[in-house]
Amino acid sequence: MPEHRRTGEHVGYEEELQSEREYVADLYARLDAERARVKAAYQAALGGTGETVMERDNEVRARHREMKRLNVADYGLCFGRLDSVDGDVSYIGRIGLFDEFDDFEPVLLDWRAPAARPFYTATGANAEGMARRRQFLTRRRAVAAFTDEVFGRLGEEQGDVALLEALNAPRGEGMRDIVATIQAEQDAIIRLDHPGVLVIEGGPGTGKTVVALHRVAYLMYTQRERMERHGVLVVGPNPAFLNHIGRVLPSLGESDVVFSTAGSLLPGLNAVLEDTPDVARLKGSLKMLDVLTAAVADRQRLPERPIPITMKDVVVQIGPDVAEWARQEARDSGLPHNEARKVFREIITYVLTERALGRIGKGWLSRSDKQGWEDMRSGLVKELADDETFTGALDSLWPVVTPSELLGSLYSSPERLAAAGGDPLLRRADGEAWTVSDVPLLDELHDLLGRDGTVQAQDHALSEERRAEARYAAEVLDSMVGRQDHMDDEDHLFATDMLEAEDLAERFEEHDQRTLVERAQADRSWTYRHVVVDEAQELSEMDWRVLMRRCPGRSFTVVGDLAQRRSEAGARSWGEMLEPYVPGRWEYRSLTVNYRTPAEIMAVAARVLAEFAPDVQAPESVRSNGVQPWSRQVSESDLPAAIEEFVSAEAGFEGTSVVIGPPGVPGTVPASETKGLEYDSVLVVAPEQILALGPRGAAELYVALTRATQRLGVLHHGPLPAALSGLAEPVPLTS
């Protein structure tokens, strides 16, 4: 390392820039060499022989993860350096690199390492032992320029030039990571050591989503062993949002993450339709638990009249008294409905065979002939099992039901709905036309109903196969232990390592080759080590039950803004939703600085916020771009041409744009579909109609106005809403 890097000695800017370029180029050379080494090890693992299937698979997975970790760092590998007051210099980057020829000294610190924290938190007032922070401006693999903040020297702190450049840069198709420009208030949340639920609330543009994702990357770095076997679940409001944020964690080297909407939390189901507000409120309430429980109980029937069953020319009956006894025993078992059917069947079978035995054996079979009675009972039980009338009676009195069958028939049948105490508003013609609000109800029914007969049979077959493997492994283990006196040391160590027969059996199993993400997405019972919930203010009480089941450890990062809530079933306070699950185990943090929206646009949005949420403080914009938002009144017939004019004008700018309007207006997208997204330029159409959407119309307009990072325009038919009266009008769209 050149002498000035160790001492922080000042040299000329151009000479210093060239030196930094050489250092970063050397880092890339190390990265490429490490990539080649790991790739060779990966290919060797793929073709490895001699190890067990499990060991070889684990090696392949480990090498593959390492390859992905190294591949994310192709650009933006190193974004700055720290000089301490003691003369030590540390370079900060996307991943960590070490010098294998110098006792593995770090040549690049991972941004998540404790020693890298001052890069984000040191200030002139609290330098944390640092003398200087240097931030690199990079183009692909090269350092284009750098800026310095020298702590403790009046006038030499230049501010966060890198941050302002990032904020003013045109937006691409997806969210970018902020690893090079994390601010102190964000860093404090990212590194917060809290094992329970962390709520991050902030207004539009405060970076709460990207902070939550960087927090996940930090947790996966500091708690690697705990997190990597079960992964992380990220829940967002819609597929467009998930596509928007999907690059952030992979860009930080983390790929064991499942992305899902609330409508796709059940494997095989992807619900996108939304209920009306009133119906969504009903389905989201915990009162639906009583309705579902009653709907299940309604399937556990008593016969209206005795059902005759013929066994060996003797007719016995399933009467209401027998069915009621069997039903009570099955309910008292505590088993889910489908699994409790076995108890119901056993009681009915016992009563029918006892009655048949009493009639068949009377007068010719002695009660002392126990074997004779048992043989006859076995024959009767087998006869019942094959009897279609008996099976049909069981299906009518205690049917095996799937969640979709039960919920679909509940919605489509007024009689079933009334019997379960459901509100008539839940009625619909197509019971299985699933909406997003149905998903938590279906998930709840999975627990209330349990596994159906097909799944139980498959589980039984797998269990029998597993036991056979364990028996074989036990025989192998016994034979090895029996010859311990003749073993050499290596064999003895192998034998004593096999503490359980099932451990050895695993060595004979075909290992699951799917990735963690693939396995988690296909398994409703999969549990995660951590869950991120974005736009969490929209989730209902029933939604939270689903998520809590997915994370028994209750480790969550919850992101939202109560002022932006649009769902009638959503949160009105965080405590109301969280206290039932994590009493005293959740913490609240707020972000107050708007990094997205220029002050000129935020001033307009703040007036809308003040009308529907006067107690909420709008976030303060960190920048001003000098571009004033505009408005223009057009007739309904001129609207398509006006939208086309905006689109054509925006084609001359670099970046992204969107047209937001009320539902159903051609050429626009609803504000609800843009939540969490950002665009360089936004055109809001018919704000007066958005406000008229209902109680949450103002929140919809607030969302629409705060998507822009550079330019905002408004088209309206009627008078401009009072909150927008400050917009200049008219302004040519091409200006």
**220 close to 214: Cβ distance less than 8 angstroms:** no
d(CA 353, CA 190): 66
Q: Which two tokens stand for residue 457?
A: 């049979």
3-class DSSP assignment, residue 653: coil
User: Phi and psi (nearest 5°) for 627?
Assistant: -100, 115
Instruction: Report the C-alpha gap between 477 and 502 in whole angstroms.
Output: 11
| Contact in structure between 589 and 194 (CB atoms under 8 Å) | no
Residue 196 CA from chain centroid, whole number: 16
The string over 437-468, giving b where at least 16 C-beta atoms fall within 10 Å of a residue's C-beta and e elsewhere, is bbbbbbbbbbebbbebeeebeeeeeeeeeeee
- β-bridge partners, 133: 82, 149
Instruction: Spell out the long-range contacts of 340-347 with Cβ–Cβ below 8 A and sequence spacing 24 or more.
Output: 340/398, 340/450, 341/394, 341/398, 341/400, 344/300, 344/394, 344/397, 344/398, 345/394, 345/398, 347/322
Task: State the DSSP H helix or E strand holding residue 327, giving kind and residue range, or none if neither.
Answer: helix 320-332
Strand partners, 715: 632, 685
CA atoms of 142 and 133, how far apart (whole Å): 19
Query: What is the C-alpha separation between 55 and 322, in angstroms, rounded?
Result: 56
The answer to whether residues 237 and 677 touch, using CB atoms and an 8 Å cutoff, is no
64 CA to centre of own chain: 23
| Neighbour-count burial of 335, counting CB atoms closer than 10 A to its CB (0-12 exposed, 13-18 middle, 19+ buried) | middle
CA 447, 449, 452, 453 torsion: positive or negative? positive
Place of tokens 């989730």: 539
Beta strand extents in 487-634 (DSSP E only): 530-533, 556-560, 586-591, 593-594, 620-621, 630-633
Total residues belonging to the chain = 735
Residue tagged 């050379």 (tokens): 29
Alpha-helix residue ranges (DSSP H) falling in 498-625 = 501-505, 516-522, 541-550, 574-578, 599-612
Q: Which of 75, 190, 95 lies closest to 141 in space, CA to CA? A: 75
Residue bearing tokens 């929140």: 699
Q: Which residues of 578-615 are buried (b: 16+ CB within 10 A; e: fewer)?
A: beebeeeebeebbbebbbbbbebbbbbbbbbbeebbee
**651 in helix, strand or coil?**
coil
Annotated binding site for ATP: 202-209
Cα distance between residue 299 and residue 340, in whole Å: 12
Partners of residue 257 on adjacent β-strands:
232
* 569 neighbors 545 (Cβ within 8 angstroms): no
Instruction: Tell me if 232 sits within 8 A of 205, measured CB to CB.
Output: no
91-122: b (≥16 Cβ within 10 Å) or e: bbbbbbbeeeeeeeebbbbbbbeeebbbbbbb
